[in-house]
Chains A and B, each alone.
Chain A
Amino acid sequence: MEENSGHISQLLQKFLFGQLTEVEKVKFEEWLQASDQNRRLLESFRKAKNIEQDLAIVKQLDANKAWEKLNTKNNKTNHKWFIGIAASLLLLASFFYLWQSSYWKTDDDAVRNLALNLGQDVEPAQSGAILQLSNGEKVVFNDKTSKTYDKNKTFVGNASELIVKNDRSEHVSHLNALIVPRASYYKIILSDGTKVWVNAQSKLKFPAQFSENERRVSLEGEAYFEVAHDAKKPFFVDSKAGEIKVLGTHFNVFAYHDDIRTTLVEGKVEVRQKDKKLELSPGEFASLSKDNVIKGNADIQQDLAWHNNEFYFKKETIVNIAHQLSRWYDLEVKFRGNVQLSKEYSGSIQRDVKLSQVLEMLSYVSDLRFEVHGKELIIENKS
């Protein structure tokens, strides 16, 4: 074996420098034809020119140190670490699937083409909203020219934002509703200067004029608040599960379901449910469910992704991802066949892209296939 390998090496060397004799050429050809592997080796040989650089790279590595680092990292259950784990898990999982079916021969292109079947592409959400005044009148804000409403010119708005002016003639109990439909988002500046970014499929109720001793709005859906500071008038956000009390801060409220998630970016908020109270510091979240209040360290990037014009999926199930897509692109999502609903996916993409771009990304990192017919999104396993 030793002799043999040396022999081949010599032949290869001579081949490289064009020094093969006729006899050797035949031998070399025989060796080349003997197996696919030999032919591949000749190929790999062409890659070898930078071997010194390659070796210099390996020189910088220290497997022992890396192993120690890995173990300490592992024990700390570092947050960042989980992104990696989740990503790799998912990659491993999806690859394992491909691998089982066809080992190395998987044709990525074929999979890619199969993975997406779009009748017509779907545009991302646009800025716009409907204002329902306390008297029941509805105003649609969906074009660029600014409109003014109410006899006292309380509301000035266009497609991108609505400004509410302090109207002393308005009664505090008169609630207006800002309705942001699916495939929409909107920004409103309340009469106290508080800015609220409202996500798709959400409803914010607010008075044009806040009362003497408090400011109170209610939310269904999701919104990001930058509350204007006013120590004398605390700001409250009511939701199905409880209320959030703030003085002047930046925070996000996710209230699509019965579970309400509040994520604090700046300042201080207090989350209340009946007699239970929790105070949050920046970077923390509180989760309110029917009869439970918990708090923990939040992933700001994840919780505020929508506000930062990003889809940011971190260890999220396809169900959660589908929910987000359905609101942003106004879709009905259906699962076909035996889709694994508990598998977790990670990834991010800008939010102002067409649906096809998001699905493209998802189909890369998952073993899922997507089909769009009009407003219907069908998700199934890649076959």
Chain B
Amino acid sequence: MQKEEVLFKTHYNGLCHFAWKIVGDLAVAEDLVQDSFVAYFKNTEQVSDNEIAVKNYLYSSVRFACYNHIRHEKVQQRYWNVVGFTEEDNIALELNMIHSEAIQEIYRIIEQMPTSCQQVFRLGYLDGLSNLEITRELKISINTVKTQKQRGMKMLLKRLNPEFLPLIIFLLKNI
């Protein structure tokens, strides 16, 4: 894989989640993220090689693209009103960025879990099924469900950047 492809695949999900949080439409979010990547690839020489700087740059440009999109929509509706539209401050932005990165990271780890564990984990946390429902769905005992969830959670705890740990506390309580 080329450097560009790696960069794209590393941050795509997180950026889309991030954009989705702002525009509220996943298809639009994906378009905006892809546009931002294209723009970035054309401007590579402008941006530092530093991985974190590149990441920040991408998140910022996606954020701006999202706001521009929202504005454009508003303009289309003839409701262009500066007062009515407030942008989040930069601390909130950084939090959102961390949040999106964390979600992306959690998802990546889930994908790496052993199949049986992953199945339970996905049903439980992505599809929102209760333990009882999972036992019916997969025809396994409730104890197996619990064990797999715990296994999955251990993997998460082990592999996840400690920075993101607070997030999964909400998952923990569902074990």
Contacts and interface: CB of A to CB of B under 8 A. Distances in A.
Interface of A: 1-2, 4-6, 8-9, 12-13, 16-17, 37, 40-45, 47-49, 51-52, 54-61, 63-64, 66-67, 69-70, 73-74, 81, 84-85, 87-89, 91-96, 99, 104-106, 108, 112, 347-350, 353, 357, 360-361, 364-365
Contact of B5 (A8, A37, A52, A67): A67
Given A54-B103, A59-B107, A92 B36 contact: yes
Given A6-B157, A58-B107, A12 B90 contact: no
Contacts of B42: 85, 89
B68 interface: yes
A41 B169 contact: no
Given A9-B162, A364-B68, 11 more contacts: A5-B162, A9-B157, A52-B126, A55-B103, A55-B106, A58-B103, A59-B126, A61-B30, A74-B38, A96-B57, A349-B75
Given A63-B12, A99-B57, A88 B163 contact: no
Contacts of A89: 39, 42-43
A45 B165 CA distance: 9
Nearest to A56: B126
Interface in B82-101: 82, 87, 89-91, 93-96, 98-99
Contact of A54 (B17, B43, B71, B128): B17
Interface of B: 5, 8-9, 12-13, 16-17, 20, 26, 30-32, 34-40, 42-43, 46-47, 56-57, 60-61, 64-65, 67-68, 71-72, 75-76, 78, 80, 82, 87, 89-91, 93-96, 98-99, 102-104, 106-107, 110, 122, 125-128, 157-158, 162-163, 165-173
A92 B8 contact: no
A187 B120 CA distance: 68
23 contacts: A40-B94, A44-B167, A45-B169, A48-B166, A48-B167, A51-B167, A52-B170, A55-B103, A58-B13, A58-B103, A58-B107, A63-B8, A84-B31, A87-B68, A88-B36, A91-B39, A92-B61, A104-B90, A106-B90, A349-B75, A349-B80, A350-B75, A353-B80
Contacts of B91: 40
B17 to A, nearest CB: 6
A41 B94 CA distance: 11
Contacts, number: 198
Given A4-B162, A349-B80, A66 B30 contact: yes
Given A6-B157, A63-B13, A64-B9, A91 B64 contact: yes
A95 B60 contact: yes
A331 B99 CA distance: 47
Instruction: Kindly list the 4 A-B residue pairs having the minimum CB-CB distance in the complex, ordered from nearest.
Output: A5-B162, A84-B35, A88-B39, A45-B166
B72 to A, nearest CB: 7
Contacts of A87: 35, 65, 68
A72 to B, nearest CB: 11
Contact of A61 (B13, B36, B71, B126): B13
B61 to A, nearest CB: 5
Contacts of A365: 68
B78 to A, nearest CB: 6
Contacts of B166: 9, 12, 41-42, 44-45, 48
Nearest to B12: A63
Nearest to A9: B165
A155 to B, nearest CB: 34
B9 A95 contact: no
B121 to A, nearest CB: 10
Query: By CB atoms of chain B within 10 A, which of A6, A13, A61, A347 has the most?
Result: A61
